[in-house]
């Protein structure tokens, strides 16, 4: 005995199975991203102050879906290592430290192509938010490396949020060179009176597994 269905439901199923594969083929692009970053911070943790910049790296998966011929949404999953230098002041003694954080981040951006009529070289801008899952944090000096606890009641927060903005160039419809700025919106540390908000410049190379379609 068949189960009766509404005509609207049948039309919705037809639309989903007929149009979704076509849209995915024409508008969805994905690939890999790798890059280097330079980080400083709004930073004061106990006796550690005076932050200065240090280098890190990031790599991961990226994807884009066109919303129109010029507008797109970009999302990804990447591993990001950020590090800063700080000065520890204990009485009259000072020493240099390195503070590092490793996170799995999910950036979601809305982007715009500035000159779409030029097919081989396209400038773009995009901006959005980063959701970070922190899985390792350390502080080290000349004598030792200390691994910081992560969690709701620990030294470092498990989840943090940041904002980012990028400019760059799409080359030959497949490669993107991207200059990105990230600003931490939430402090990494749980303890009251301390603060650690990273500010990061990144330079990356994105490679799409297929050429971006020109409308």
Is the CATH number of domain 29-208 2.40.160.20?
A: yes
Least Cα distance to 179 among 171, 193, 168 occurs for 168
Q: What is the pLDDT of residues 21-80, one digit of tens each?
A: 444 445 789 999 999 999 999 999 988 999 999 999 999 999 999 998 889 999 999 999
Confidence category of residue 198, pLDDT binned at 50, 70, 90: very high
Ranges of H-type helices in 75-181: none
Residues 6+ apart with CB under 8 A from 166: 109, 111, 124, 125, 126, 127, 178, 179, 180, 181
Whether residue 108 has pLDDT greater than 90: yes
List pLDDT tens digits, range 124-182: 999 999 999 999 999 998 889 999 999 988 999 999 999 999 999 999 889 999 999 99
């Amino acid at each position: 005995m068949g189960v009766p269905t509404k005509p609207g439901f049948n039309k919705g199923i037809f639309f989903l199975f007929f149009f979704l594969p076509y849209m995915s083929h024409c508008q969805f692009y994905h690939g890999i991203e790798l890059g280097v970053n330079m980080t400083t911070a709004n930073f004061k943790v106990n006796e550690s102050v005076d932050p200065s910049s240090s280098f890190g790296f990031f790599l991961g998966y990226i994807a884009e879906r066109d919303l129109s011929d010029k507008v797109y949404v970009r999302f990804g999953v990447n591993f990001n290592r950020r590090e800063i230098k700080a000065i520890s002041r204990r009485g009259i003694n000072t020493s240099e430290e390195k503070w590092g954080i490793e996170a799995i981040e999910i950036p979601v951006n809305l982007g715009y192509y500035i000159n779409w009529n030029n097919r081989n070289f396209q400038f773009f801008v995009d901006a959005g938010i980063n959701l970070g899952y922190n899985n390792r944090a350390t502080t080290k000096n000349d004598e030792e490396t200390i691994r910081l606890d992560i969690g709701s009641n620990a030294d470092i927060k498990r989840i943090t949020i940041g904002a980012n903005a990028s400019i760059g160039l799409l080359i030959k419809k497949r490669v993107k060179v991207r200059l990105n700025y990230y600003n931490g919106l939430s402090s990494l540390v749980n303890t009251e009176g301390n603060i650690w908000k990273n500010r990061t410049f990144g330079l990356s190379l994105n490679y799409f597994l297929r050429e971006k379609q020109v409308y």
